[in-house]
A and B are shown apart, each in its own frame.
Chain A
Amino acid sequence: MAVLDEAPGAARPTAGPAAPGRAPRERGAARPAVLLLPALVLVLVFFAYPLATMLWRAFTEPETGWGNFTWFFTTQANIDVLVRTFTTALWVTVIALLLSYPYAYLMTVAGPRGRAALTLLVLVPFWTSLMVRTFAWMVILQDTGVLNRTLDLVGLGPVHLIRTQAGVIVGMVQLLMPFMVLPLYAVMSGIDRRYVQAARSLGARPLTAFAGIYLPLSLPGIAAGSLMVFVSALGFYITPALLGSPDDALISQQIFTQVNGLLQWGRGGAMGVVLLGMTLALLVLVALVTRRAGRKVSL
């Protein structure tokens, strides 16, 4: 989320209202900090501590050392799962971006009514339960489902989608698209339309103006949206479990199996650490990149 804050303030020169007044130092400046305590205690006890325990068990069960990690990275099946998880997340991100970019752009140029309709269409999946939507995709993607019958009518023949990676991707893109559209829209609506007009008046063709002006200015939105979608896709469990084939399991499903099915806490924990590590590494990387880009664009 923090990445979203990097959105460029397009026309900064006429900055808004005066900065919020800085209160004179109050008696006991630490007092507001007390307000943080309840939430912090809860998160430390019920979030940080269990994660630390998982980490601990990954290194100590069944015996102390790197055993679980060696096992993970030397087992071909695990490497396959890792690669599959990455490629799935990548496909989902790319498709979601390609669908969302024009969509978010249209939201910024449509009239108030058009914008309201487009926003509503994005928000419906946003507040429709993940479980409900996954179930719906099971129905739609069935071999005898709506999609296949529509394709049949058009003459594209039945496509086997349920229990395939393609099916998982179709479902996940729909599930995650709001996370792409909304940051894109937030950034795009801050891009002053006069930038493109200016480029046109200065002699740029429409495509040149887009590539040289609009696209770079929308990069923070692309980065934020892609990051959120990619990171969420990496950790998806329900959708691949229900839409995918057990043979094409992603890393979350493997973790579930290790812990819940095989009671291999150490191995499950190690996989969890790998997944968490990748996620955090990506977040840090993208945060650094967007901060640099953001400094260039919005400082």
Chain B
Amino acid sequence: MPASRGLAQTPDTERAGRAGRGAEIALDRLTKRYGDFVAVDEVSLTIEPGEFMTLLGPSGSGKTTTLNAIAGFVTPTSGSLRMDGTAIESAPPHKRDIGMVFQHYALFPHMTVAENIAYPLRRRKIAKDRRRELVAAALETVRLGEYGHRYPRELSGGQQQRVAVARAIVYGPRVLLMDEPLGALDKKLRDWLQLEIKRIHAELGTTFVYVTHDQDEALVLSDRIAVFNNGRIEQVGSAHALYERPETLFVAKFLGESTVLRGAAEAGAGRSALGKAGRTLTAAGELTGAAAIVIRPERLVVVGAGERAEPGWNALPATVLQEIYLGSSRKLELRLPDGDTALVREAAGRLSAARPGDEVTLTWRVEDAVLLPDDPDVETVLT
């Protein structure tokens, strides 16, 4: 079987722990159907060697099915799956050179931590002495040197999670898949383990494919993020690109907070006009038809009753509903004349004078907003 190349020809003993040897993963129109239900719909995605790629999306969006297809637990209905150019879609999981960290870790309860980590090495018939060294090294990598003789149930959730990582990296796979590995942990632990995962990724140089529904996690960890929705990829890009230049309304709403102004757009020269609440708003880009202007909260500027808005900026009258003080910033929730709500974030030190109940003007630069085709499936009402 061609896919067994990595396993059969490269001695794992030599590879283990060596950096800079991640594999490229290429999905081409990958599709998985269960009866009438399309779980993954023609997904194409190339993950660079050594890249940290996050598959982000709500539950049921197809991200986990895609991950399981890469791992070999799901056989694609159609499309191709390549690892460094070799088709692997029909290779069984144990023949793929892949490590996986499962949701809830799936540590074998009848084996100690060390036995768990040694398991993949035993399957690869690695000599006992070498095995012991590699287990110790892997435990060191995840900073659990003292815990080899314990059973998984004797460890805390965060420790179990790190054992799962150690088990998945000990044999030096060229790709590491992680399925919501931090989902079961509390916030503080999660923040710390995110940094650990980032550090391990930098140390190993392995290609990481990480599934999560938590956008903050995706922003912290990833080189690039693929946003999934209804079995399709909405957009692939760096965290910065996704945040600043979302290509679909879904991405804009799913990643970070934003104010969405829906209306009918009319394309002009390089710009479009959008009617909203009796005003005409200007947005960059040419688009005609049902559209939405998306503005991030920190790009909105509130102008009080006595002040003047910047010339050339878009302006809408609004009423301040409430303020939420967050220390380093404050959030304002405003109501627009047509009943829609807007969200503003003001950095500490640059707070406006607006108070709940004030009648103000909401302004923003044309370039700071993104004009997107409307998507009726996306809910834009703030909750």
Is B a genuine binding partner of A? yes
Chain A contacts to B: CB under 8 angstroms: 8, 10-14, 192, 194-195, 197-206, 208-209, 212-213, 216-217, 296-299
A197 close to B106 (CB less than 8 A)? yes
CA distance A299 to B151 in the complex (A): 9
B105 close to A203 (CB less than 8 A)? no
CA distance A227 to B43 in the complex (A): 52
Q: Is the interface of A mostly helix, strand, loop or mixed?
A: helix
Known interface pairs A201-B72, A201-B99, A203-B7; A10-B109 also in contact (CB < 8 Å): yes
A197 close to B93 (CB less than 8 A)? yes
* A206 to chain B: closest residue by CB: B92
A296 close to B110 (CB less than 8 A)? yes
Q: Does B228 contact A (CB under 8 A)?
A: no
A11 close to B92 (CB less than 8 A)? no
* A200 to chain B: closest residue by CB: B93
A199 close to B102 (CB less than 8 A)? no
| Inter-chain contacts of B120 with A (CB < 8 A) | 202-203
A205 close to B110 (CB less than 8 A)? no
In addition to A198-B107, A201-B177, 10 A-B residue pairs with Cβ atoms within 8 Å of each other are: A13-B184, A14-B157, A198-B108, A199-B119, A201-B73, A201-B98, A202-B100, A202-B123, A297-B109, A298-B153
Known interface pairs A14-B184, A192-B104; A202-B109 also in contact (CB < 8 Å): no
| Inter-chain contacts of A197 with B (CB < 8 A) | 71, 73, 93, 100, 102, 106
CA distance A232 to B107 in the complex (A): 36
CA distance A204 to B110 in the complex (A): 17
| Inter-chain contacts of A13 with B (CB < 8 A) | 104-105, 152-153, 157, 160, 184
Known interface pairs A203-B171, A205-B94, A299-B153; A198-B104 also in contact (CB < 8 Å): no
Chain B interface residue count, Cβ-Cβ cutoff 8 angstroms: 34
B123 close to A203 (CB less than 8 A)? yes
Q: Does B167 contact A (CB under 8 A)?
A: yes
Please name the 5 residue pairs, one residue from A and one from B, whose CB atoms are nearest each other, closest first.
A202-B120, A203-B123, A194-B106, A200-B93, A198-B106
| Inter-chain contacts of A206 with B (CB < 8 A) | 92
Q: List 16 A-B contacts (CB under 8 A).
A: A192-B106, A197-B73, A197-B100, A200-B73, A200-B92, A200-B93, A201-B71, A201-B72, A201-B73, A201-B100, A201-B168, A205-B92, A296-B110, A297-B110, A298-B153, A299-B153
| Inter-chain contacts of B72 with A (CB < 8 A) | 200-201
B93 close to A201 (CB less than 8 A)? yes
Q: Does B124 contact A (CB under 8 A)?
A: yes
* A15 to chain B: closest residue by CB: B153
| Inter-chain contacts of B71 with A (CB < 8 A) | 197, 201
CA distance A192 to B108 in the complex (A): 10
Interface Cβ pair total, 8 Å cutoff: 90
| Inter-chain contacts of A213 with B (CB < 8 A) | 108
| Inter-chain contacts of B177 with A (CB < 8 A) | 201
Least CB distance from B23 to A in Å reads 15
Q: Is the interface of B mostly helix, strand, loop or mixed?
A: mixed
B108 close to A203 (CB less than 8 A)? no
Within 8 A of A (CB), among B68-120: 71-73, 92-94, 96, 98-100, 102-110, 119-120
Least CB distance from B7 to A in Å reads 7
CA distance A297 to B10 in the complex (A): 35
* A212 to chain B: closest residue by CB: B119
Known interface pairs A197-B73, A201-B94, A298-B109; A12-B102 also in contact (CB < 8 Å): no
Least CB distance from A110 to B in Å reads 16
Q: Which interface residue of A12, A203, A212 has the most chain B CB atoms within 10 A? A: A203
A12 close to B153 (CB less than 8 A)? yes
| Inter-chain contacts of A14 with B (CB < 8 A) | 104, 157, 184
| Inter-chain contacts of A208 with B (CB < 8 A) | 123
| Inter-chain contacts of B109 with A (CB < 8 A) | 8, 10, 12, 217, 297-298
| Inter-chain contacts of A8 with B (CB < 8 A) | 109
Known interface pairs A200-B72, A202-B119, A203-B124; A195-B106 also in contact (CB < 8 Å): yes
Known interface pairs A13-B157, A13-B160; A194-B7 also in contact (CB < 8 Å): no
Least CB distance from B208 to A in Å reads 15
CA distance A216 to B102 in the complex (A): 20
Least CB distance from B102 to A in Å reads 5
CA distance A199 to B72 in the complex (A): 12
Least CB distance from B88 to A in Å reads 13
CA distance A195 to B102 in the complex (A): 9
B104 close to A11 (CB less than 8 A)? yes
B104 close to A194 (CB less than 8 A)? yes
| Inter-chain contacts of A198 with B (CB < 8 A) | 100, 102, 106-108, 167
CA distance A209 to B160 in the complex (A): 21
CA distance A217 to B107 in the complex (A): 12
| Inter-chain contacts of A217 with B (CB < 8 A) | 108-110
* A198 to chain B: closest residue by CB: B106
B160 close to A194 (CB less than 8 A)? no
| Inter-chain contacts of B160 with A (CB < 8 A) | 13
CA distance A192 to B109 in the complex (A): 10
| Inter-chain contacts of B157 with A (CB < 8 A) | 13-14
Least CB distance from A10 to B in Å reads 7
Q: Which interface residue of A10, A13, A213, A216 has the most chain B CB atoms within 10 A? A: A13
CA distance A14 to B183 in the complex (A): 11
